[in-house]
Amino acid sequence: MRHFFRRRLVLPAVAVVSFASGAFLFKNAQNAPITAAQVAQAEPLMGLSFTPAERDSMIDELTEQRTAYEAIRKVNLPNHVAPALYFNPLPPGFAFEKVRRPFKASPAGAVALPTNRDELAFYPVTHLAELLRTRKITSVELTQFFLERLKKHGPQLECVVTLTETLALEQARRADAEIKAGKYRGLLHGVPYGCKDLLAKKGYKTTWGSMPYKDQTLDLDATVVQRLEKAGAVLLAKLTVGELAWGDVWFGGKTRNPWNVAEGSSGSSAGSGASVSAGLLPFAIGTETLGSIVSPSTVCGVTGLRPTFGRVSRHGAMALSWSMDKIGPMCRTVEDCAVVFNAIYGPDGLDPTVFDAPFNYAPLPSLKGIRLGYLKKAFESDYANKKTDQATLDKLRELGAELVPIELTDLPFRELGFIISVESAAAFDELTRSNRDDLMVRQTKNAWPNVFRAGRLVPAVEYVQANRLRTMLIADMAARLRGLDAYLTPTYTGGNLTLTNLTGHPCVVLPNGFSDKGLPVSITFNGQLFGEAKLLAIAKAYQDATDFHRKHPPLAF
């Protein structure tokens, strides 16, 4: 869900509560009297200064607050329990589409089985669906094909936590029986997939990629898993996730990039990106809080959709940041993302942040009449992928799109990273207080254990103020994007990735070339809130005019 902070987090030398000796000092700190000297020591953490009289006057109130903390800590608050405060990405006056239209994919045309069966590994979902629908291949055959690839190449890429082989073959046999009987469910019927191991599946471990949870089982199916099962998709694997949704390092190793196995696949949807890139699965489910779909999609050369916040239920998914977590597909093509998203979006009555809004996807005949914004200063700056990005802008003009220069807000959005620190510290409060965070693989200063500790020291007032600033950012974005169908940004340059994760806007990231080292690079198409249908259609028009998504890792996959 979150892949990195571009800052260093260091615990202060003096704090109200010491974390150095774990639970013992927690207990002592709870019993020790609060003094005016301690208040004075805490003031630098807040950037404030009080008089001696003001410090003395606070002591009774602070003591009462600490007593309240102790009472709250006695209540079991599992990770899935959300705060009674819901992030709302809608600006004033926002209106949803009112008409719901049928999902409309591009015609598949005549799809034949390849002479070399290994080529099936890189068929898009839409082509596999046609082979299954016309019964040129069975779901069992396809499932066994991808299971063999997962078993053969998964260990080298370190991208699989658990194979769900028994379940997969049961689902595949059921799909074949239904298709044979004329009960075709749609484009995902019988198609294999994998999901990031933050999503629960009853009967299998859900490890969150973390040593303290490596044997955890949850007695439920995540809503996304349920909906894919309803669509007839076949779950083959729980895929690696950077520990507690950070990076590509997990309790079993480091997920590798199929384009260069000496490098990581980025994260935290590490296994999802690597497995799709290497042709081990036709598609996978990822999650993002701050780049965890965008980054591995970029590095591994796949196409990823990060939907609008409030589009897909997170029921049954690990919570990291309740106001920023999002779930989306990682696929070979833009239209595959549309197909998968069509199966998983919408309210379920279990995640109260999800809106009931239509998804009226249909391909565009051309980009003529489409108004695309682009971050002028960012594209004109000196950065690594400037050449490939400029080629993308040129191609979009050639396809008939009108490119409109825009800029992002002047408000200080990059400074809001501590929102994740606070919410993640709450999500893993028990892990910190029990001292089991010592079991985690990454123990550097810039790693979760220290982020969780530092997050506890963010004043509640500043957390609320930061979220009030988000309200201003949402309104600012609405004004800047008015009249645009979508807008283009360099994937990393210009701050758009951070901003849009804070405001909840959707994006599609897709390959648009290769670096000097021969590794994939990407471009990001960003949409209006709840504008995934038009966003995907625009991105598809560009992707159809290029062939970068048809390139595959040079290794023997």
pLDDT of residue 295: 98
The torsion angles phi and psi of 363, rounded to 5 degrees, stand at -60, 150
Residue 320 makes CB contacts below 8 A (sequence gap 6+) with 1, 2, 244, 245, 289, 420, 423, 424, 427
> From CA 242, how far away is CA 251, in angstroms rounded?
8
Q: Is 456 exposed, middle or buried (0-12, 13-18, 19+ CB in 10 A)?
A: middle
pLDDT, averaged across the chain: 94
Domains of the chain, CATH where assigned: 117-353+364-411+470-550 (3.90.1300.10)
> From CA 389, how far away is CA 244, in angstroms rounded?
32
Compute the 3-state secondary structure of the chain and give helix, strand, coil in percent, each to the nearest 5.
40, 15, 45
Q: How wide is the angle at C-alpha 146 spanned by C-alphas 141 and 152, nearest 5°?
A: 130
Q: How many residues does the chain have?
A: 557
- Enzyme catalytic residues: 196, 268, 292
* 3 state SS for 46-83: HCCCCCHHHHHHHHHHHHHHHHHHHHHHCCCCCCCCCC
CB 208 within 8 A of CB 243: yes
Residue 222 pLDDT exceeds 90: yes
- The continuous run of DSSP H or E covering 161 comes out as strand 160-163
Residue 8 pLDDT exceeds 90: no
The torsion angles phi and psi of 263, rounded to 5 degrees, stand at -110, 160
Give the start-end residues of each E strand in 200-308. 234-239, 249-250, 253-254, 256-257, 260-264, 284-288, 303-306
Neighbouring-strand partners of residue 249: 254
Neighbouring-strand partners of residue 317: 199
CB 296 within 8 A of CB 330: yes
> From CA 102, how far away is CA 83, in angstroms rounded?
35
pLDDT of residue 554: 83
pLDDT digits (tens, 9 = 90+) for 113-169: 999 999 999 999 999 999 999 999 999 999 999 999 999 999 999 999 999 999 999
pLDDT digits (tens, 9 = 90+) for 19-66: 333 444 445 556 799 999 999 999 999 999 999 999 999 999 999 999
pLDDT of residue 557: 56
pLDDT of residue 291: 98
pLDDT of residue 555: 65
Higher pLDDT, 8 or 425: 425
Mean pLDDT in residue range 71-87: 96
Q: How far is CA 199 from CA 220, 223, 293, 430, 464, in A?
A: 10, 9, 15, 20, 29
pLDDT of residue 28: 54
Residue 494 pLDDT exceeds 60: yes
Mean pLDDT in residue range 265-282: 98
Mean pLDDT in residue range 390-408: 98
Residue 224 backbone class (left: φ over 0; alpha: ψ -120 to 50; beta: rest): alpha
> From CA 323, how far away is CA 501, in angstroms rounded?
10
Residue 176 pLDDT exceeds 90: yes
Residue whose pair of structure tokens reads 């980054």 in the numeric block: 295
CB 58 within 8 A of CB 39: yes
